[in-house]
């Protein structure tokens, strides 16, 4: 199966640019977006053959996620099961016969780590949510069949020095703080694999986000903060993990994953 993830920094904005061209070119079985910044009734999409599942923030024009899938899921969850954390439309989780697919837009800790406490709470809750899906325990306490998890999205953290152009001046800043990196490490240690690093452990200068300031994209002064993670039980089935850094339209580029025998 082929999966694509893209933080579009506004679905309505990218629809005026190259969204349909990119969507058709990448030909995913499941295509996940983050930072849609819209309610479902604010966009008109023509994607024949796909089902659409939106999670929107209570605040208009903010955050938001959506999953487009060729196959209709068995069920769809639109949050972690926490009323406080679920106000910003940051989760779409789809259950399929042999796996869970989770689209996530992780909260930004903001300048001077102003929202770091919220971020730490989110990271812990998200990790437990994904472990619950894997084990067959849903947020409402009901049960499902245990299944591996494929998760993707903008995690708003560069894991290691290799994952951003200028690690030293950014050490301790939002997206590269010890706290955020530590929580991402905890997620991996809980039983999940960073698919890109699994296949490309030493490949440098591969980023997924560039600031709109200082010509960052032109000089490739970027960060790798968008990921596909999978349960360790299926990492041997990974066929490819791709960063489409040539595709513009947003301050992020799409990323891809192909897995066999799902």
| Alpha-carbon gap, residue 40 to 93, rounded angstroms | 17
Active site residue 20: no
Pick from 166, 150, 179: which is nearest to 259 by CA? 150
Angle at 198 between CA 193 and CA 200, to 5 degrees: 150
Q: Which of 105, 123, 194, 226 is catalytic?
A: 105
Active site residue 105: yes
Report the pLDDT value the prediction gives residue 19, as an integer from 0 to 100.
Answer: 98
pLDDT in tens, 124-141: 999 999 999 999 999 999
pLDDT in tens, 4-45: 999 999 999 999 999 999 999 999 999 999 999 999 999 999
Question: What are the distances in angstroms from CA 46 to CA 17, 66, 253?
Answer: 15, 15, 22
pLDDT in tens, 198-215: 999 999 999 999 999 989
Task: Work out the average pLDDT over 155-176.
Answer: 98
Report the pLDDT value the prediction gives residue 39, as an integer from 0 to 100.
Answer: 94
Q: Which of 29, 154, 163, 194 is catalytic?
A: 154
Mean pLDDT of the chain: 97
Structure tokens, 235: 């990492």
Rounded to two decimals, what is the model's pTM?
0.98
| Alpha-carbon gap, residue 202 to 59, rounded angstroms | 40
Question: What are the distances in angstroms from CA 32 to CA 90, 111, 112, 144?
Answer: 12, 27, 30, 23
pLDDT in tens, 239-249: 999 999 999 99
Report the pLDDT value the prediction gives residue 247, as an integer from 0 to 100.
Answer: 98
pLDDT in tens, 175-201: 999 999 999 999 999 999 999 999 999
pLDDT in tens, 48-85: 999 999 999 999 999 999 999 999 999 999 999 999 99
Q: Give bridge partners of residue 33 from the DSSP assignment.
A: 6, 66
């Amino acid at each position: 199966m082929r999966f694509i993830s893209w933080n579009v920094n506004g679905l309505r904005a990218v629809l005026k640019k190259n969204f349909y061209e990119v969507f058709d070119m990448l030909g995913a079985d499941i295509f996940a977006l983050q930072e849609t910044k819209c309610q479902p009734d604010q966009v008109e999409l023509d994607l024949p053959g796909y089902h659409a599942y939106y999670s929107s923030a209570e605040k208009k024009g903010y955050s938001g996620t959506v999953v487009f899938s060729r196959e209709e899921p068995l069920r769809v969850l639109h949050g972690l099961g926490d009323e406080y954390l679920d106000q910003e439309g940051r989760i779409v989780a789809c259950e399929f016969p042999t796996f869970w697919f989770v689209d996530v837009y992780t909260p930004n800790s903001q300048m001077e780590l102003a929202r770091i406490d919220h971020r730490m709470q989110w990271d812990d809750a998200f990790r437990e949510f994904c472990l619950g899906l894997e084990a067959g325990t849903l947020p409402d306490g009901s049960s499902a069949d245990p299944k591996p998890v494929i998760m993707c999205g903008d995690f708003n953290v560069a894991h290691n020095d290799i994952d951003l152009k200028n690690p030293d001046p950014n050490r301790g800043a939002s997206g590269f703080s010890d706290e955020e990196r530590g929580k991402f490490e905890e997620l991996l240690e809980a039983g999940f694999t960073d698919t890109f690093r699994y296949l490309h452990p030493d490949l440098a200068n591969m980023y997924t986000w560039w600031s709109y300031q200082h010509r960052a994209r032109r000089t490739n002064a970027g960060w790798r903060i968008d990921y596909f993670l999978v349960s360790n039980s299926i990492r041997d089935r990974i066929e490819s993990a791709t960063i489409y850094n040539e595709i513009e339209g947003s301050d992020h580029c799409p990323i891809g994953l192909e897995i066999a025998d799902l």
